[in-house]
Amino acid sequence: APPLPAAPPASVPPRYGYTRDATDSAPVNVPAVETLLADRMSAKFNRDFDRADELREVLRRQHGVEVQDTYKTWRVATRALPRPNGGGSVGAAGIDVEAAGWR
């Protein structure tokens, strides 16, 4: 008998969505962040925790976003993130901290 097709991914119930921390107003690509958060929640809902962890890292590195799973909130981090090449640092909004004179 031929193998059964894979089950479609379960949809994430709306109550599992994340909201932006009310005190956060830092510039960020909100639609991109929300898409990544939805993908992450879908991965968690499907018990693909490795993928969920990867997406959390993408949110942190590419958008400077920290996710608070306990409160289902997210915010742009206020601390500087290291540059991938090891030189200097970039603020959470992607601003070169040293070039901007913030150090």
CB 59 within 8 A of CB 71: no
Distances, alpha carbon 92 to alpha carbons 28, 31, 33, 75, in Å: 9, 17, 13, 10
**What region, left, alpha or beta, does residue 55 occupy, with left being phi > 0 and alpha being psi -120 to 50 degrees?**
alpha
pTM for the full model? 0.63
Most confident by average pLDDT, 15-19, 56-60, 85-89? 56-60
| Residue range 28-74, pLDDT digits in tens | 999 999 999 999 999 999 999 999 999 999 999 999 999 999 999 99
Q: Which residue has the higher pLDDT, 58 or 83?
A: 58
Specify the pLDDT at position 5.
60
